[in-house]
Amino acid sequence: MTRLLASVTSAAEAYIALAGGADIIDLKDPARGALGALAPQQIADTVQAVAGRRRVSATVGDPPYAPQALLQRITGTAAAGVDYVKIGIPPQLSAADWRALADAVRIAHPARLVAVLFADRDPDLSLIERLAGLRFGGVMLDTAAKQSGRLRDHVDDAVLRHFAERAHAVGLIAGLAGSLRCVDIPHLLPLGADYLGFRGALCAGSRREAELDAMRIADVRRAIATRGAAAVAPVEESSIADSRP
């Protein structure tokens, strides 16, 4: 069953996401980039508000990271009590970067690390096996430049299916995100990802920096549940319209 990841900016938004049926509460600051980080205290407050009802993930900011700075960010984020810490992974990593990632797995425990690859930055999918070898918990394919289009504008469905299958083959959770809309759901559900990540589609006016809209969350939740239950095959883009333009 593919699940709904809803990105939120605060405890108040987490309550809205919970009420709308989100399966994973994902903490980020959209005003600070694709993986903009919130302050550790904001993360801790939201974890407390969620109170174990859902898994919680949080980002540590956009790459590139200096190795020591990355470890400091992971330490603060993991200490706030999240289940997953999300880290952006560029296509090219130095030996020092790999050493830092190995240390990061240990520092984050018991939180699991989720690597985020960027579909609009020529992602190297061969990194998936190496990340699994470091004992990451999952891998996600997202977009770095939100103004550059949706995930499926950069990567076709065959590649997305391969991404999910490759992650599952080495025991990683697989997620897809990147300016997704309701129209993308019937295309993505058959590809086998464990979750689909949304922000803009859940917000007033489809603006990712606006506040969450409870009705939009319910629309996306319903679309995932309905399409998943019916096992609908991909359809033409023109045959489906967003339920909330």
pLDDT digits (tens, 9 = 90+) for 35-45: 999 999 999 99
Question: If you average pLDDT over each of 108-112, 147-151, 224-228, which comes out highest?
Answer: 108-112
pTM of the full predicted structure?
0.90
Q: Residue 238 pLDDT more than 50?
A: no
Cis peptide before 234 (omega within 30 of 0): no
H-state helical runs in the chain: 11-20, 40-50, 67-79, 95-108, 127-133, 151-154, 157-169, 185-188, 214-230
Active-site annotation, residues: 28, 86
By CB atoms closer than 10 A (0-12, 13-18, 19+), residue 98 is middle
Q: Residue 125 pLDDT more than 80?
A: yes
Backbone angles phi, psi at 25, to 5 degrees: -100, 120
**Whole-number Å distance between alpha carbons of 60 and 107:** 14
SS3 117: strand
Res 148: pLDDT: 86
Work out whether strand 3-8 and strand 195-198 pair parallel, antiparallel, or are unpaired. Answer: parallel
Q: Residue 241 pLDDT more than 80?
A: no
Q: Residue 227 pLDDT more than 80?
A: no
Res 147: pLDDT: 84
What's the chain's Rg over C-alpha atoms?
Answer: 17
Res 146: pLDDT: 87
Transcribe 52-84 into DSSP letters.
Answer: TSSEEEEE--SSP--HHHHHHHHHHHHHTT-SE
Q: Residue 243 pLDDT more than 70?
A: no
pLDDT tens digits, 52-87: 999 999 999 999 999 999 999 999 999 999 999 999
Res 235: pLDDT: 39
Res 228: pLDDT: 62
CB 110 within 8 A of CB 56: no
Average pLDDT, the chain: 91
